[in-house]
Structure formats: C-alpha cells, structure tokens
Amino acid sequence: TRTPVNVTVTGAAGQIGYALLFRIASGHLLGADVPVKLRLLEIPQGVKAAEGTAMELDDCAFPLLKGIDIFDDPNKGFEGANIGLLVGARPRGPGMERGDLLAANGGIFKPQGEAIAAHAADDVKILVVGNPANTNALIAQSAAKGVPAERFTAMTRLDHNRALTQLAQKTGSSVTDIKRLTIWGNHSATQYPDIFHAEIAGKNAADVVDDEAWLADTFIPTVAKRGAAIIDARGASSAASAANAAIDHVYTWVNGTAEGDWTSMGVPSDGSYGVPEGLISSFPVTCKDGKYEIVQGLEINDFSRARIDASVKELSEERDAVRELGLI
Ligand code: NAX
C-alpha cells in the first residue's frame, strides 16, 4: 500500500477551504488511488470551525483519507507537507491601501515560507491561492531558503477555466474541444487571456472567433472581472469554482498535461517572453512527471504584447513594493 501524501491546507475554515477539503479527501487532488493525510492550518479563531469541518470529513468515511490534524502554528502545519495549498490570506478591508494589504499578507506568507523551508518534505509543492496570489507566492518563496524556487506557484487556473467556458460558449463548442489557451501575467484585472495560440477542434481559435472587438471588449474583460461579477450575483466571492481550480492546478502539475495541450500556472519567470526573471507570472506550461516547463517559442503579436507587458508591469510594481517593505 502507498504511503499517504501529506496535504497542508491553510485557511481551512474559510469558504474555499470548505469546498476544497472534501474533494482532496475523495481523491480528486492527486488521483483515485492516492491516500492522503490532511493538515489543516488556521488562525486560533478559525480552529473551532476547522474542527467542525474535520467532523464532517470523518462522517464521509472517505476510503483515501488516512488522517486529519488541525494546527494554528505554521511550523506544525507544514511538518512533512508534500503539497501545500496556501488559501488563507488577509482580504482588503475598508480604506486599506495596497501597501497595507501587501504588508498584512507579508505577515502571513513570510512565516509560512520559513515554516515550509524548515519542516516540509523535500518534494514539497506549493500552490498559493490567497490574494494577491502571485506576490504572496513570491513572498513565501523568497522566505523559503533552500527550497527550489520552482516549487512555488500561484493560481491562475480559475481564470483559465473561466476563459475556456467563455470561448466555448461564444463559438458553440465544447470546453474539451479547446486546447492551448493561455492566461498571462497577474491574477488580477490586468491578466491577459490569450486565444491566439489556442485551437478549437484543431482550428486556430482567433480565426474561428474572427472578431477582435469581441476579444478586446467582451472576452478579456469578462474573464478578468469575473470575480467581481460573482460577488455581485452571489453576495460572496467565488469559492467552489476556486476550489475546483486549485484541484485542477495540482492534479495537472502532478499527473501531467495532455499531449498537445498546455495549462496556465503562475510560476517563477526564467526570463521567457520578456517577463523579468523571478517574478511569479502566469505562463503557458506543460507538466510531466511532477514537473512543469514554460512553453517556449510562441510568437507574441502586438495585441498580446501590450497586454502581457501591462500585467507584468503591475507584477513588477508589486515586487518593488514588497521589497521596500522588507518582505523579500
Ligand atoms: P475566507 O475569508 O472565507 O477564508 C479565509 C480563511 O483563512 C479564514 O478561515 C481565515 O481564518 C483563514 N486565515 C487567515 N489568515 C490565516 C493564516 N495566517 N493562517 C491560516 N489561515 C488563515 O476566504 P475565501 O473565500 O476562502 O478565500 C481565500 C483567499 O482566496 C482570499 O485571499 C481570496 O481573495 C482568494 N481567492 C483567490 C482566487 C484565485 O483565483 N487565485 C479566486 C478565489 C478567491 O478570491
């Protein structure tokens, strides 16, 4: 029998946590034959609610779930972690400036990065979901001395999945017909969903759509502002779809992308496509044997170039701000 994989989830008592934990425990994160142990990390005020969720997880009698432990200390929460899902973050409060938000999150992600370096398993893989996800990932990565930088990733899979459905609905196709869609840049309103390299049932997606006004004025803003539209409609931010995207991100990272396809992940830049080295930016990536690679050699047209550059500029500004705060 296989040794269980230790999965640490921060923000376990939050709304994404509630949607996420049951899918991890039922085998969707790693595979239907992979046993898991959950390590739930919360702040002290969140521990009781996490205990309630743990009771419900017990009540599901999931065959793959080999244990649940709850912590309010990151040094314990990340002990032996093979996978870390960093969901808990500090939301922007009323009157909070960007600098305050980055500082508050630095207070969370820096100690978590240190705890990962000190206590996680050698093969640890980290996905940051908590916003601002790319820069929180950068803070954790920079604090995790000795852990290879590429183990720290940020989630843009929700944006990727949103873009898949918008494109499928526009073209009357199925999401399974669409390949090679890309989200570039920051998980923010500046992100750029790119269909110029995408294919729909083997045909170039931009040719099938053949409507640059729809791209610029409908598709891109719909994908980029979808989070706000969900809040307007639901009265709460995306939770089940965010949890689903986190599951997809890790599943793909571990189990690989399909031949001829790729996915979108926020990963440390190697300088590809003019993105400054070290920035955690979304790229097209292929995954194989538990490793990812940035897709190389794509031609970037002027329409895409301007939008990628704008989002990367925002990421550079966030990096400068956390550098000034001494967080990286
Ligand atoms: P909730 O406020 O429901 O839950 C957050 C949980 O994190 C709370 O239970 C809180 O006690 C806990 N927490 C806070 N600080 C912590 C710490 N230092 N250690 C451990 N736990 C801590 O938020 P939820 O709706 O679950 O969203 C979580 C994060 O995901 C937010 O930052 C949100 O902005 C972000 N999102 C990111 C998305 C993405 O695509 N990257 C999309 C969805 C979501 O908006």
Task: Give the residue from 292, 265, 296 showing the smallest Cα distance to 280.
Answer: 265
99 marked ligand binding residue: no
pLDDT of 175 strictly over 80: yes
User: Mean pLDDT, to the nearest integer, of 111-119?
Assistant: 98
Q: Is the pLDDT of residue 43 over 90?
A: yes
Which of 237, 244, 281 is the best mutation target for the ligand 1 pocket, counting ligand atoms within 8 Å of the beta carbon and taking the most? Answer: 237
Concatenating the DSSP letter of every residue in 225-279 gives THHHHHHHHHSS---HHHHHHHHHHHHHHHH-PPTT--EEEEEE--SGGGPPTT-
Alpha-carbon distance values, 134 to 104, 105, 176, 255, 276 (Å): 15, 12, 28, 23, 14
- Across the range 249-253, mean pLDDT stands at 98
Q: What is the pLDDT of residues 51-103, one digit of tens each?
A: 999 999 999 999 999 999 999 999 999 999 999 999 999 988 888 888 889 99
Predicted confidence at residue 97, as pLDDT, reads: 85
Residue 102 CA to ligand 1 center (angstroms) comes to 14
Mean pLDDT across the stretch 269-283? 98
Structure tokens that stand for 8 in this block:
């640490």
Cβ atoms of 173 and 162 closer than 8 Å: no
Given the residues 28, 119, 160, 187, select the one marked as catalytic. Answer: 187
User: What number is the average pLDDT over the span 294-314?
Assistant: 98
Ligand 1 pocket list (CB less than 6 A): 10-11, 13-17, 41-43, 46, 87-89, 91, 108, 129-131, 133, 155, 158, 187, 227, 237-239, 242
Q: Is 136 labelled as part of a ligand binding site?
A: no
What pLDDT is recorded for position 282?
Answer: 99
Mean pLDDT of the chain: 97
Q: DSSP state, 137?
A: H
Distance between CA atoms of 77 and 260, rounded to whole angstroms? 38
Residue 130 pLDDT class (50, 70, 90 cuts): very high
CATH 3.90.110.10 correct for 157-318? yes
> Which residues are 288's β-sheet partners?
291
Is 119 known to be catalytic?
no
ipTM: 0.98
Which residues does residue 283 pair with via DSSP β-bridges, in sequence order? 265
Peptide bond into 148 cis (omega under 30): no
Answer whether 142's CB lies under 8 Å from 172's CB: no
Whether the predicted pLDDT of 1 surpasses 80:
no
Contact 115, 77 (CB under 8 A): yes
Rounded Cα distance between 300 and 309, Å, is 11
Amino acid at 308: I
Q: What is the pLDDT of residue 51?
A: 98
pLDDT score for 94: 84
Q: What is the pLDDT of residues 176-229, one digit of tens each?
A: 999 999 999 999 999 999 999 999 999 999 999 999 999 999 999 999 999 999
What is the CATH class of 5-154?
alpha beta
Q: Is 135 helix (H, G, I), strand (E, B) or coil?
A: helix
Specify whether the CB–CB gap between 159 and 187 falls below 8 A: yes
Point out the ligand 1 atom lying closest to the alpha carbon of residue 245: 40
Question: Of 88, 81, 155, 83, which is closest to residue 125 (Cα–Cα)?
Answer: 83
Closest by Cα among 44, 144, 31 to 84: 144
129 annotated among ligand-binding-site residues:
yes
pLDDT grade, residue 17 (50/70/90)? very high
Mean per-residue pLDDT, 241-247: 98
Mean pLDDT within 307-322: 97
Q: Is the pLDDT of residue 38 over 90?
A: yes
> Structural domain boundaries of the chain?
5-154, 157-318
157-318 matches 5-154 in CATH topology: no
